Every structure is written in C-alpha cells, then in structure tokens.
Amino acid sequence: MTGGLRTALTVLLAAVIGAGGGVAAVIWLQQTPEETVQRPDFTLPDLAGERRRITEWDGDIVVLNFWATWCAPCREEIPLFTELQTAFDDQDVQFLGVAIDDPEPIRGFIDQVDMGYPTLYGMEAALDVAAAYGNDRGTLPYTVIIDRDGRIHERFSGQLHEPDLRPILEDLTDE
C-alpha cells in the first residue's frame, strides 16, 4: 500500500468515526433522561412571598414552564399558555410558571401581559429545580408535562407552539 493511499484511508476512517460520533452525540443530547420518571418535589415562592409546593397540584396535569423576563421566546409563549390554561381549565390542567428571575422584573412583565396561571420564582433555587427536571444545560424556555399521577410525560427545550402542546394535553385529558 502506498503512502498516499494509506493517508487517504486513514483520513477517511477518521472522518467516518468522527461522523458516527457526531450522530451519536446528537441522538444522546436529544434523548429524554429516563432516570427521572416521577416528578421531583420542590418548593419556591410566588410573587406574594408565599412558599408554594408542587404537590399542591397533585392529581392535575401540570404544564411546568421555566422562563425568564429577559428571554424573548419565553415571553412569546406565555399568551399561548394562558389561552390553553383557559381552554383546559375544566379538565384539571394547570399551567405553572417558574421564573428564573427576581420578583420586580416579573411583576413588571405581568403588569403588561395577561398571565392566566401562577408563577413561582427564584434564581439559583429555580435553576436547581430546572436541573432536577432534566434541564442540565439551563435552556430557556424549558417545559415539562406532568401527568395526573405525577409522572413526567414529556420535556421540551425551546419555545412551544400550539401544535406541539395541544395534542399532548388532549391525549392526557382523554385518559
């Protein structure tokens, strides 16, 4: 085998291994962690300063949304969440926001935008909750759908749109 052919085959082999590793990494990053089936318990304050615990909504389908006032896609999906909260309210669906923010910017935002569901807040504590729900990278927005039995049904990184969310809520409310 000539030196040129050996070099070409080595480069080709390295490219194939690299591509395979890249595909494997993308698949791994897109997988939902299976180790967290039951939703983790947490307590965070609401804007009135009351400590609220996720167990308050046990028995409901919970759409848990991690957001921030400085996150444009987060702000854009809140009107949709308010609309769906109203549409599914009589079917025990509860949207719940967790703002990664200070209370003053949140209050200012809520004064401008109708947020038809409760929001809790925190900085480091809220980031810890997001990580416990599978958001190790701190992506915002990040949304978790929890079924009536407290099991994590679905996780979404990034902005949601009605065609992403409505069918899941319809399926869960039909069960």
pTM, entire model: 0.79
Tell me, what's the pLDDT at 143? 98
pLDDT of residue 42 exceeding 80, the answer is yes
Q: Quick one: what percent of the chain has pLDDT higher than 70?
A: 79
Q: 111-163: per-residue pLDDT in tens?
A: 999 999 999 999 999 999 999 999 999 999 999 999 999 999 999 999 999 99
Could you tell me the CA-to-CA distances from 131 to 26, 77, 175 in Å, in that order?
Answer: 20, 21, 29
